[in-house]
A and B are shown apart, each in its own frame.
Chain A
Amino acid sequence: MIPDDGYGGMGVSTIRVLIAKPGLDGHDRGAKVVARALRDAGMEVIYTGLHQTPEQIAEAAIQEDVAVVGLSILSGAHNTLVPKVIQLVKAKGGEDVLFLVGGIIPEEDVDFLKSCGVAEVFGPGTPTEHIVEYIRQRVGQRPQPGRGSPGGGP
């Protein structure tokens, strides 16, 4: 059931997530599985499609006013791409965005990514419920900035 916001629509607290595929690898099965799982958990998921530059992803994150950006990378270029995306999003005013990374990330790179601002790295085999739960805990209670009333009132 869709929670009622008194206007016959949903409340303002719906979590919006951008799922993006930066760089050159063309494997988006994992990204789509996660997108689907988050959708089924009641979130609004914006999927960017393949081969996105960090600039495109950052612009999309700001325009869509998302609370979470999930980056799926299987190309090995994560140490270059991820910090770039985070830096651009923050520069454009997305200080509160939660960054998650999925894909093939070697254990030894996880600490580096976290030091760049990644909240968590989810490798292959992560149950999707973990990701859902993690996002809910980190974003759920926090008021989402910049979100207007959907009611149409002034």
Chain B
Amino acid sequence: MGRLFPYGGKAYVIGVTGPPGVGKSTLVDGLIGRLRDRGGSVAVLAVDPTSPFTGGALLGDRVRMSAHAADRGVFVRSFATRGYLGGLCRAVGDALRVVDAAGFDYIIVETVGTGQAEVDVMRYAPTVVVVLVPGLGDDVQMIKAGLLEVAHVLVVNKADREGAQRMIAQLRALLELSPPSGWTPPIVATVATRGTGVDELVEKIDLHREYMMREGRWEASRRRLLIWELEELVRRQAASAVLREAREGPLWERVCRELFSRRLAPHQAARKLWEDFLARTVRGDGGEGVPD
């Protein structure tokens, strides 16, 4: 991964998210077609859920994208969440880096069907498309807390269904309530199975991309992602180092006993182990767990 890293940072990442069954994969298929038409190569990373009971997964996103299966300018890789929450999976960051280094112009990250808090995709994609369908109706209230906030472009798919216009009006009303910023998410009505509205969707994605390119916004979002990844890795390394030390240390058993007998709450116990770790490794003054 270290050798690949210098070659990356050029692809533009588009996130596609939304509740299950709204037509994300079919829309992505449409997007691939339009992006290919203008000569760009496209990699798709599509995430589907892993069963929490068996660990297995049925990854069906390819079914909607098979028109491009033999096109060398298109790469589709399916991922299972493997127990990871947030709408993506752990491998997606590395996978992004690989296809980025491979020189794809666009990378589309399709999340699992999401409801409220599975908004990890915003970390990776400077442009996030949130797909909804009519009939979510009253649920718009529920969605606004998470999904709507990450949207740069909103899609009302299956717009030939009853209630589409009402849904669009509701969304528009909700967006008017959000705090003013430099970008107001446009709402695009699509019928993905027929390709209706996909041109307009690409247009809006382009508009947002241009917006991101101005005043260093894209660069800022890429830096935020790198910092976040760095922090995650440091956090993980630090946590496992501290835990390893603590388990091997003389304090562990005592702290556990006090925990079991409820003399020490878990966060007090954690604090104690941390202090001991600092004392023994950082300050080097021996710590309280070492017998004198």
B44 to chain A minimum Cβ distance, whole angstroms, is 10
Q: How many residues of B contact A (CB 8 A)?
A: 36
* Min distance, Cβ B234 to any Cβ of chain A, angstroms: 12
Cβ of B76: which chain A residues have Cβ within 8 Å of it?
Answer: 60, 63-64
Q: Is the CB of B58 within 8 A of A150?
A: no
Instruction: Name the CB-closest residue of A to B75.
Output: A63
Check if A145 is an interface residue, CB within 8 A of chain B: no
Q: Please state if A39 and B90 are interface contacts (CB–CB under 8 Å).
A: no
Question: Smallest CB-CB separation from A19: which chain B residue?
Answer: B58
Cβ < 8 Å to B, chain A residues 1-16: 1-3, 7-10, 14
Is A124 at the interface (CB under 8 A from chain B)?
A: no
Within 8 A of B (CB), among A108-154: 148-154
Judged by a CB distance under 8 angstroms, whether A96 is at the interface is no
Q: Is the CB of A154 within 8 A of B89?
A: no
Judging by beta carbons under 8 Å apart, are B55 and A52 in contact? no
In the bound assembly, the distance between CA atoms of A41 and B70 in angstroms comes to: 30
Please name all residues of chain A whose beta carbon is closer than 8 Å to the beta carbon of B94 when the two chains form the complex. Answer: 148-150, 152
Q: Does the CB pair B58–A2 fall under 8 Å?
A: no
Instruction: Say whether A64 contacts B77, CB under 8 Å.
Output: yes
Q: Do A152 and B83 have beta carbons less than 8 Å apart?
A: no
Among B11-19, B61-69, B110-118, the one that faces the other chain is B61-69
Asked if A71 CB lies within 8 Å of chain B CBs, one says no
Q: Are A47 and B82 in contact (CB under 8 A)?
A: no
Asked if B91 contacts A45 (CB within 8 A), the reply is no
The answer on a CB contact under 8 Å between A38 and B56 is yes
Neighbour of A7 across the interface among B59, B66, B78, B90, CB < 8 A: B90
Label chain A's interface by main secondary structure. loop
A8 to B66 Cα, complex, angstroms = 32
Residues of B within 8 A of A36 (CB): 58
A45 touches B89 (CB 8 A): no
Q: How far is the CA of A152 from the CA of B94 in the complex (A)?
A: 6
Please, how many angstroms separate the alpha-carbon atoms of A94 and B232 in the complex?
35
Is the CB–CB distance between A44 and B83 below 8 Å?
Answer: no
Q: Which residue of chain A is the closest to B237 with respect to CB atoms?
A: A153
Contact B60 A9 (CB under 8 A): no
List residues of chain B with CB within 8 A of the CB of A151.
90
Q: Which of B73-99 contact A (CB under 8 A)?
A: 75-78, 80, 82-84, 89-91, 93-94
Bound together, the chains give a CA A48 to CA B76 distance in angstroms of 12
A152, B232: Cβ atoms closer than 8 Å? yes
Could you list 10 A-B pairs, sorted by A, with CB under 8 Å?
A1-B53, A2-B52, A2-B83, A43-B56, A46-B59, A52-B69, A53-B70, A55-B69, A152-B93, A152-B232
